[in-house]
Amino acid sequence: MRALRLEAWKSDPVLADVPDPEPGPGQAVIRVGGAGACHSDLHLMREFEGGLLPWEPPFTLGHENAGWVLALGDGVTGLEIEQPVAVYGPWGCGTCARCRPGLENYCEDPANAPVPSGGGGLGLDGGMAEYMLIPDARFLVPLPDGLDPLIAAPLTDAGLTPYHAVRRSWGKLPPGATAVVIGAGGLGHMAVQILKATTAANVIAVDTRAEALDLALKSGADLAVPSGDDTAAGIREATRERGADVVLDFVGSDSTLAMAAAAARTLGDVTIVGIGGGTLPLSFFSVPYEVSLQTTYWGARPELVELLDLASRGLLRPDIVQFPLNRAMDAYRQMEAGNLNGRAVIVP
Ligand code: NAD
Ligand code: ZN
Ligand code: ZN
């Protein structure tokens, strides 16, 4: 089969012929219905280098995937051939204290995971190919009725990552609260929809691009403001000088982190999701009192089940641009140039 392979750090991936995967005991193979193109893949192709992550190229890209069960290995129960499924992406050991309740994104025994701190498309072969090997069938989540793998694919990362980040801050988002989404791209436009579907907060979206601000408004944002030096002051003004209860930064550069801290309200949450390489100096006076700062990585398996349910009930709808496998690099180039809106999904 054809697969889009990252052969080395800091290089463009290449289309190559690789053997069709076969499932061993407890494993499964899916026919890929969609594989989302994430900005993290661009970080792999452009900035990351050996030693930063606990795995190395070569592998097939594509870490947000859904499709149909093609083959099941010995001992797999509870799944049917041709059943539509989403792939839970962070592959942990399955038995440590974090994995048992489904927080495999924070596995504490990575040496016994299929790949340490990664998954298919991040260290092991992902979904930018006709077929994908799933090393343990528990990583497959059956799709609720009516949900197409094409829609489900971006939900597994562009949806799940902001869902986890929003969900952990639900307690700080009662009616009257304000949430700010910085960077209304693949993850950010989903964050806006998730905030509107699961909280009564006012949602303010921030982006540098007019098209992204339009998409944020279409996704339900109450206000969409251009990103600049006076953005935080504008957010404070729009919240009667209180600031935002929750700020989610899907960029993570020096300037957006500074904006996030300056826009936050006392007792608020500032959550860094974007891997933009920025830093945020922290001192007694640099953030309002009792602001909690955290990074988050992906989400939990039960959260993916909840998210798929929201989507199957029509409460979430990722904005998707489709590309065939042989044009996958065009998707990344458009993303890099700032010409892509919503999420690119590769359809092999
Ligand atoms: P994307 O390219 O689709 O979206 C990024 C958006 O940010 C774009 O709309 C862009 O215009 C906007 N932007 C850029 N600079 C900005 C600025 N200074 N102010 C405001 N907006 C700005 O990317 P994506 O796929 O949504 O990923 C976003 C980030 O999240 C990436 O760094 C990615 O690697 C990271 N990510 C993290 C996790 C995690 O688990 N922590 C998971 C997936 C992706
Ligand atoms: Zn990703
Ligand atoms: Zn584990």
Residue of 153, 122, 132, 119 lying closest to 18 (CA atoms): 132
Q: Which amino acid is at 89?
A: G
Nearest CA to ligand 1 atom 10: 183
* pLDDT at residue number 50: 87
* pLDDT at residue number 209: 98
Atom of ligand 1 nearest to the CA of 295: 41
Task: Give the distance (Å) from ligand 1 centre to CA of residue 270.
Answer: 16
Task: Give the distance (Å) from ligand 3 centre to CA of residue 94.
Answer: 5
Task: Give the distance (Å) from ligand 1 centre to CA of residue 177.
Answer: 24
Nearest CA to ligand 1 atom 44: 40
Task: Give the distance (Å) from ligand 1 centre to CA of residue 33.
Answer: 24
Task: Give the distance (Å) from ligand 3 centre to CA of residue 255.
Answer: 35
Provide residues with CB under 6 Å of ligand 1: 38-40, 43, 157, 161, 182-188, 206-209, 212, 227, 250-253, 255-256, 273-276, 296-298, 335, 338
Block mean pLDDT (10 aa), the chain, length 348: 97 98 98 98 93 94 98 98 98 98 98 96 98 98 97 98 99 98 98 98 98 98 98 98 98 98 98 97 94 98 98 97 98 97 97
* pLDDT at residue number 95: 98
Tokens of 98: 């974090």
Nearest CA to ligand 1 atom 23: 39
* pLDDT at residue number 148: 97
- pTM listed for this prediction: 0.98
